[in-house]
Amino acid sequence: MTGSTVSMTSSTTSPTLQARLWMLQRLSAMVLALCVVVHIAVIIVAVRNGLTGAEILGRTRGNVAWGLFYGVFVLASAVHVPIGVLKIAEEWWRWRGRGVQLAAAAFGLLVLVAGLRAVWAVTAGGTP
């Protein structure tokens, strides 16, 4: 079964860039893990207390702390997701070169814009 696996060095990115991407993905994963735990805990508390969607929005609208928290959540996602998409495209689909890098970056930008728009809607009280 020679050639059935793809090493991290088979990428078209330089070893230095690969190392940076690896580190960024691990750091963003740590932030995401913390954010997910807080987010799930908040959901559990809200459900147990019988809060409605309107009551939850009443607590998040105008709340800078929740805006900052979810802003960090979105930023970590926008860093983490495109790196994973890039690696999947390179390793599973054998897509190499500038095109895959641009596609992954565009997907990350989409995650960032959509996420920040959602944060704005939930904390500022409307669509931007």
CA distance 115 to 112: 5
Burial of 21 (0-12, 13-18, 19+ CB in 10 A): buried
Phi-psi region of 50 (alpha: psi -120 to 50; beta: other; left: phi over 0): left
Residues of the chain above pLDDT 90, percent? 76
Rounded alpha-carbon distances, angstroms, from residue 114 to 3, 81, 96, 109, 118: 39, 13, 27, 8, 6
Centroid of chain to Cα 62? 24
8 Å CB contact between 11 and 18: yes
Coil/strand/helix, residue 93 = coil
Whether residue 5 is predicted with pLDDT greater than 80 in this model: the reply is: no
The whole-number pLDDT of residue 8 equals: 44
Mean pLDDT, the chain, integer: 89
Does residue 11 register a pLDDT over 80?
no
- What does the pLDDT read at residue 9? 43
pLDDT the model gives residue 14: 86
The pLDDT > 70 percentage for the chain reads 88
Task: Please check whether residue 123 is in contact with residue 60, taking contact to mean a CB–CB distance below 8 angstroms.
Answer: yes
User: Is residue 23 over pLDDT 70?
Assistant: yes
Architecture of domain 13-124 in this structure: Up-down Bundle (1.20)
75-115 tens-digit pLDDT: 999 999 999 999 999 999 998 889 999 999 999 999 999 99
Query: Distance (Å, rounded) from C-alpha 106 to C-alpha 112?
Result: 10
Higher pLDDT, 10 or 96: 96
The domain locations on the chain are: 13-124
What is the average pLDDT across 26-43? 98
Supply the pTM of this predicted model: 0.82
Q: CA separation (Å) from 119 to 36, 43, 76, 79? A: 15, 16, 14, 17
Residue 4 confidence (pLDDT) = 39
